[in-house]
A and B are shown apart, each in its own frame.
Chain A
């Protein structure tokens, strides 16, 4: 019930493509990491493991296009787009709530569609247009209708889920999933709000949809 995230699809497809496309060893290391939680207690020493993973650690030069600006970086290939945005580019508006694709706090727009930046490797985001919360307002400071609606409807409390909610909501409207409160509730359910500002989020999305369509 928690995970009504149709935006997961392109992300995991993207990740799979990368895994296949990269050197075998690197892929093995990448594949291990989501499973690594199972515990340090279990010794995990595949033969020549050192050789295998050194591949993934070697920083790879790459260019990410964020909010219309190119950023040339050298990154550990295991780094997620989320960490690249926050730690390397300095756009800390995108938030980490789980790092596992379970909360929506890290939602950004990639090529105009909502994606979870914690499930997107930075290397896989090359050549795609990334939009974060920092890139929404106009240069003159005028807020996007969704940002304005969130303020007017008090659609947040602590604000931690808010950047993800706003970008997800824009995606939701563009997908045509914001026509009714029921549809908004359903298609915004991948974005958890522990403060539980849900009724106000629905009201904000409803208002912004009208403004965005005008």
Chain B
């Protein structure tokens, strides 16, 4: 279990002849066949003998207390086995800290912890029955008397909401006030983004089965070890007695990153009953089972010289949070570091309301904060009558302006140039409304995309058999991003065997632990561990290169049946004792703007063409071109899927997605897939993602920056900018809908 030194990792890479540039390979997904034949088993697909079914009963008020339950009608339904309420489960599960306090849970409010109601949709009872139909029927027969405290604070602007400046996130460089006052060109604007929900297609499912005092949990997860250790803490049992299995995840996007309160309830129900219990929360319940992207507000002030160079930049954000947890993504830490500027202020405020605790959703802070900054920059370019690409160029920098630290690599302008060329930007006419096509007002816009490069501690095991077969395993996660494929491919390249000879296991706490599948960090974290394990295998065989066949030939003649090597790797910037966290479900990605000596970002450029109908004001994104530089790309095919999918998420964030609030009772009005609009096939036209070659040997041993989230970032700003170009109207509040282009002229 020796931790390989970085020198050794480096040597391994060189001896294996690894290219740190984009791999030419684009092999099909490892698990393709399972996914097209229905054989991929997601956690809800596991069939447990004698399984009982759980159904959640959720709160219809947002703030107050439960005065009484009448369970008589529910209990009378034949087939009801148990009903959990705060009155029947005592003080179980234990109150334990959320991730924001150094714990495991996605939030710290125990939904069945007392009679207290803290948010609409809060689970208040769990019915267990012989069948799903019976559990659902009984849940609907529970009669609840509430004492409602109203009106609740629904959102940031509600009078009852409490605003809290987060001073540790303050950024102050130079003298903003003086520089802004003196700036010959100024922008002073406000932006907003709505609450959004990840809505992975797979519902929040949990199946728990006890065998003696051992618990197995089948639950879709982005971090099986977080789930295991957190649940052990909640249930007050030894972590060794829990196994979490999640070999396929039907999309996650941040929603399945950390242990939610539902899991312990289902584990307890299964223990009380002495039978396996299965929960599949409904789509509506899913809106409050886990975190979400909270609504944000932004105030941006830019001061610039007439040549476009920024002299003053201030970005202040407000983010909604719950009363129980102070959660803020605070991405001013990034928007203040993107462009050269001598005078900077960054501020972040959390606004507490009567809502469930927000969390992570693909590019959690990057999407909203980039929307604000990148739209403001476009407004500045209009004010200056300057091409928006040129505005980015004059403010491009190799060092971030807050701490003066160098970027490990930065290919922003290469991205702009290649995307602009592919898009045909040179044919754009500057004046708003000048590119009309019949009834359609055509607008072209662009924006910067960025995502910090993170990696976390991870471990992997690789076994090479005498017949040349390879098995790679790690408790990482397949969310659709291509983890199986990446693992197989890295091992194949490192050992010089055809990828078809490699098998992979993941998503199981019995395997070597890995980092949370978040922060676009899976490949950056795990590829180095697989490389180190393969390196050790080659060392045992005395083989220094991995050109096709040499390793398997050496293996075949070695007389050994198989060689198995375990390797753990510590991510750059993390202290030596952080490795312990890997074995306690606390491997968190690190990097971005938090490194002592540098900053590391993947960067990109988003270009869109929108068409706004002159009469109906319908807004279409006719085409989008994104170019991204994200270090080494392991598999061009899966990376392309991530980038295109991300860009489509960006279109959704701009034109469709908004969780609508009923401000009278802080409830969600559209907690279903018909009313929560997200892009459907007919919304999507030409999408092109370009991968700009980039080498970065500093970010991590694999040279990988990650592509899971950057595709989302900047699209909404590019669309806002394009709508302005098409219509002359500047939209600053997401999402942009037809009605936003009506009324005013």
- Does A23 sit at the interface, judged by CB under 8 A? no
Known pairs A158-B251, A185-B681; A137 contacts B132 (CB<8 A):
no
Let me know if B683 and A92 touch, CB within 8 A. Answer: no
Contacts of B29 in A (CB 8 A): 151, 154
Question: Are the C-beta atoms of A92 and B28 separated by less than 8 Å?
Answer: no
Contact of B644 among A93, A98, A160, A199 (CB under 8 A): A199
Cα separation A198 to B426 with both chains bound (whole Å): 29
A133 and B648 form a contact (CB under 8 A)? no
In the complex, per-residue mask of B65-96: 1 if CB is within 8 Å of any chain A CB, else 0 = 00000000100111100000000000000000
| A199 near B36: Cβ-Cβ < 8 Å | no
Checking A87, A95, A159, A162 against B132 with a beta-carbon cut-off of 8 angstroms, the contacting residue is A87
| Docked CA distance A49–B167 (Å) | 58
Are A97 and B38 neighbours in the complex by a CB distance under 8 Å? no
- Please indicate the chain B residues that have their CB under 8 angstroms from the CB of A4 in the complex: 680, 682
* Majority secondary structure, A binding face: loop
Expressed in whole angstroms, the Cα–Cα distance for A96 and B43 within the complex equals: 12
Give every chain B residue within 8 A of A194 (Cβ-Cβ): 198-201, 251, 253, 678
Q: Is A2 an interface residue (CB 8 A)?
A: yes
For A65, what are the chain B residues with a Cβ–Cβ distance below 8 Å?
A: none
B637 interface hit (Cβ, 8 Å): yes
> Contacts A194-B678, A196-B644 hold; do A97 and B37 have CB atoms under 8 A apart?
no
A134 to B674, CA, bound (A): 28
Contact among B250, B673, B677 for A159, CB-based, below 8 A = B250
9-residue interface stretch from A10-18, A37-45, A109-117: A37-45
Task: Assess whether B681 is in contact with A76, with CB atoms less than 8 Å apart.
Answer: no
Chain B residues with CB under 8 Å of A98's CB are 283, 672-673
Q: Which residues, 137 to 187 on A, are CB-close (under 8 Å) to B? A: 137, 143, 147-148, 150-152, 154, 156-163, 166, 184-186
Taken together as a complex, chains A and B put the C-alpha atoms of A196 and B249 apart, in Å, by 15
* Segment 38-96 of A: residues with Cβ below 8 Å from B: 39-41, 43-45, 49-50, 53-54, 57, 76, 78-79, 83, 86-87, 90-96
A108 to B250, CA, bound (A): 19
Interface pair A160/B37, CB less than 8 Å apart? no
Of listed B35, B140, B199, B672, residue having the most chain A CB within 10 A: B35
Q: Which listed residue, B133, B203, B678, B684, touches A76 by the CB 8 Å rule? A: B133
Instruction: Assess whether A96 is in contact with B36, with CB atoms less than 8 Å apart.
Output: no
Interchain CB contact under 8 A, A40 and B680: no
Interface residues on A, range: 35 or more
CB-contact partner of A134 in B38, B200, B203, under 8 A: B38
Q: Which of B276-330 contact A (CB under 8 A)?
A: 280, 282-284
For the complex, give the distance between the alpha carbons of A32 and B684 in Å.
Answer: 37
- Closest chain B CB from A13 CB (angstroms): 19
Is B144 interfacial (CB-CB < 8 Å)?
A: yes
Set B45, B57, B673: member contacting A192, Cβ < 8 A: B673
Q: Is the CB of B133 within 8 A of A79?
A: yes
Cross-interface CB contact of A157 among B47, B199, B480, cutoff 8 Å: B480
- Measured CB to CB, the closest approach of chain A to B657, in angstroms, equals 11
Q: Do A97 and B673 have beta carbons less than 8 Å apart? A: yes
Q: A57-B78, A102-B673 are in contact. Are A162 and B35 (CB under 8 A)?
A: yes
CB closest chain-B residue, reference A166: B36
Contact status B79-A57, CB under 8 Å = yes
B187 sits at the interface (CB 8 A): no
Residues of B within 8 A of A37 (CB): 282, 284
- B136 contacts A by Cβ under 8 Å: yes
Q: How far is the CB of B673 from chain A (nearest CB, A)?
A: 4
A206 at the interface (CB under 8 A from B): no
B interface footprint on A185-205 (CB within 8 Å = 1, 0 otherwise): 110111111111111111000
Question: Does B564 have its Cβ within 8 Å of any Cβ on chain A?
Answer: no
Is A100 part of the binding interface, using a Cβ–Cβ cutoff of 8 Å?
yes
In the assembled complex, how far is the CB of residue B251 from the closest CB belonging to chain A, in whole angstroms? 4
**Chain B: interface residue total (CB-CB under 8 A):** 83
Contacts of B638 in A (CB 8 A): 154, 157
CB of B31 closer than 8 Å to a CB of A: yes
* Contact A158:B200 (CB < 8 A) given known A53-B137, A87-B132: yes
Q: Is the CB of A57 within 8 A of B200?
A: no
| A3 close to chain B: CB less than 8 A | yes
Convert B196-207 into 0s and 1s, putting 1 for each residue whose CB lies closer than 8 angstroms to a CB of A.
001111110000
Q: Which residue of B lies closest to A94 (CB)?
A: B38
Q: Which of B213-266 contact A (CB under 8 A)?
A: 248-253
- Tell yes or no: B433 within 8 A of A by CB: no
Q: Do residues A154 and B42 form an inter-chain contact, with CB atoms below 8 A?
A: no
A-contact bits for B148-163, CB 8 A (1 contact / 0 none) = 0000000000000000
Q: Cβ of A197 and Cβ of B641 under 8 Å apart?
A: yes
Whether a CB of chain B sits under 8 angstroms from the CB of A132 is yes
A160 CB to nearest B CB, Å: 3
* Contact partner, A102, options B251, B481, B672, Cβ 8 Å: B672
B661 within 8 A of A: no
Contact A192 B146, CB 8 Å, known A93-B38, A154-B28, A158-B480: no
Nearest chain-B residue to A42 (Cβ)?
B60
B141 interface residue, CB < 8 Å from A?
yes
B201 touches A193 (CB 8 A): yes
Task: Contact check, B681 vs A160: say whether CB atoms are below 8 A apart.
Answer: no
- Given the contacts A154-B638, A196-B679, A196-B684, A41 and B146 also touching, CB distance less than 8 Å: yes
- Which residues of A lie under 8 Å from residue B77 when comparing CB positions? 53, 57
Q: A198–B38 contact, CB under 8 A?
A: no
Query: What are the residues of chain A within 8 A of B125 when measuring CB–CB?
Result: 40
Give Cα A162–Cα B248 distance, bound, in whole angstroms. 13
Chain B CB within 10 Å — which of A152, A160, A193, A197 has the most?
A160
Which of A2, A154, A166 is within 8 Å of B637, CB to CB? A154
Residue A33 at the chain B interface, CB threshold 8 Å: yes
B384 within 8 A of partner (CB): no
B500 at the interface (CB under 8 A from A): no
User: What is the minimal beta-carbon distance from B517 to any residue of chain A, in angstroms?
Assistant: 12
Query: CB < 8 Å: which of A86, A148, A158 contacts B201?
Result: A158
CA A87 to CA B645, docked complex, whole Å: 32
Which chain A residues lie closer than 8 Å to B147 at the CB level? none
Question: In the complex, given contacts A40-B142, A133-B38, what are 19 additional A-B residue pairs having Cβ atoms less than 8 angstroms apart?
Answer: A1-B680, A2-B678, A40-B57, A40-B60, A41-B61, A57-B77, A57-B79, A76-B134, A79-B132, A86-B45, A87-B132, A102-B673, A136-B37, A151-B29, A152-B28, A160-B42, A195-B251, A196-B684, A198-B684
Q: List 15 A-B contacts (CB under 8 A).
A: A4-B680, A33-B140, A41-B143, A44-B140, A50-B76, A54-B78, A97-B201, A157-B638, A158-B479, A159-B31, A160-B200, A163-B38, A191-B681, A192-B680, A196-B679
Give the A-binding residues of B (Cβ under 8 A): 28-29, 31-42, 44-45, 47, 57-58, 60-61, 73, 76-79, 125, 131-134, 136-137, 139-144, 146, 198-203, 248-253, 280, 282-284, 478-482, 637-638, 640-642, 644-645, 648-649, 652, 672-674, 677-684, 687
Which 10 pairs across A and B sit closest by C-beta, in order of nearness?
A93-B38, A160-B250, A158-B480, A157-B480, A159-B35, A133-B38, A196-B648, A92-B45, A102-B673, A147-B36
